[in-house]
Chain A
């Protein structure tokens, strides 16, 4: 497995999509970003635990859930990696560990990009991940 498999040309964060989502929901870009980051932090902990406990079904369900919110929020690269993780247990948990490492690297990049974006938004400070 390779990082960003099949995701060449995709941005880490689709800012236009995030803005649209913020407007459509009335949550604003900050509200959507905070919601997404908070859930992802919790879900990444769940994914680590699932691998540690060899809970294959929990791992697939958590990865599926994360992938759904990632694509909605405009993080398609992250979503693709999570889809790989969702299906990785079928190939063995060692593959899942590699997938999770890629997900965590991509999530760090998403967090960094979102923080920079929000810090540059007038009247708004950096978002806590």
Chain B
């Protein structure tokens, strides 16, 4: 059942956030969007997501720092966090893994339909 699964998208790009949210809603997920890193951290507490889709290049609090802060909370050690960004170097990718990313996905090569599949399989 995906109906009750909550997905938080932390993404500052309105086009991408809208497209991902629409696709995930179409697939039956309950979706919330935060447009900067601080709002994302606030939403983690309020919305209690089952999974987070996290951009890296974010205003206010950088995505990598968001990831580290979420993982510093023991209660969210196992929360699936899919890092979804175009700003990749091998060092940057390794930093994401070190900080506790569940999956690291290159946005440009991942259409919304594939993101829905990734989210679905991560939550199944």
Contacts and interface: CB of A to CB of B under 8 A. Distances in A.
Given A64-B57, A68-B16, A25 B108 contact: no
B13 A69 contact: yes
Interface stretch (B17-25, B43-51, B73-81, B94-102): B17-25
B21 to A, nearest CB: 9
Contact of B86 (A27, A32, A64, A73): A64
Contacts, number: 57
A14 to B, nearest CB: 12
Interface in B93-124: 107-108, 111-113
Interface in B37-71: 57, 59
Given A26-B22, A68-B86, A21 B12 contact: no
A116 to B, nearest CB: 21
Q: Chain B: interface residue count, which band?
A: 20 to 34
Contacts of A72: 15-16, 19, 107-108, 111
Given A26-B26, A39-B14, A64-B86, A32 B19 contact: yes
29 contacts: A20-B111, A21-B111, A21-B112, A24-B26, A24-B111, A25-B23, A25-B26, A25-B112, A27-B18, A27-B19, A27-B22, A35-B19, A36-B15, A39-B13, A61-B59, A64-B57, A64-B86, A65-B12, A65-B57, A68-B13, A68-B16, A68-B86, A69-B15, A69-B16, A72-B15, A72-B16, A72-B19, A72-B111, A73-B15
Given A67-B86, A71-B108, 9 more contacts: A21-B112, A24-B111, A24-B113, A25-B18, A25-B26, A27-B19, A32-B19, A39-B13, A72-B16
